């Protein structure tokens, strides 16, 4: 296997990983929101944020929103 073939295969794997992560991250965030308990209308707000801003909303939820859940 040549160097260029190795780099091509590696970049294909990286792209595949990023696509799968891009599809799973919003899905996992929505599942977490829908199964968690939140005060007031916070659950609805997080669902809307994740639906309309899937990647940024998911990252924000896992950084900020998950800490505000009522466990």
Cα–Cα distance, 62 to 29 (Å, whole number)? 7
* pLDDT tens-place string over residues 36-62: 888 889 999 999 999 999 999 999 999
Q: Say yes or no to pLDDT of 21 above 90.
A: no
What pTM was computed for the model?
0.73
User: What is the domain partition of the chain in residue ranges?
Assistant: 22-71
Residue from 48, 21, 23, 18 nearest 34 by CA: 48
What Cα–Cα distance (Å) separates residue 37 from each residue in 2, 53, 61? 53, 21, 14
The answer for residues whose C-beta is within 8 angstroms of residue 20's C-beta and 6 or more apart is none
Q: Say yes or no to pLDDT of 2 above 70.
A: no
pLDDT for 52 equals 96
What mean pLDDT do residues 23-47 have? 91
């Amino acid at each position: 296997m040549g160097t260029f073939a190795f780099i091509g295969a590696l970049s294909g794997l990286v792209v595949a990983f990023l696509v799968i992560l891009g599809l799973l991250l919003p899905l996992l965030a929505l599942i977490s929101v829908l199964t968690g308990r939140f005060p007031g209308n916070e659950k609805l707000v997080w669902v809307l944020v994740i639906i309309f801003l899937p990647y940024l909303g998911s990252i924000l939820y896992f950084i900020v929103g998950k800490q505000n859940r009522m466990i």
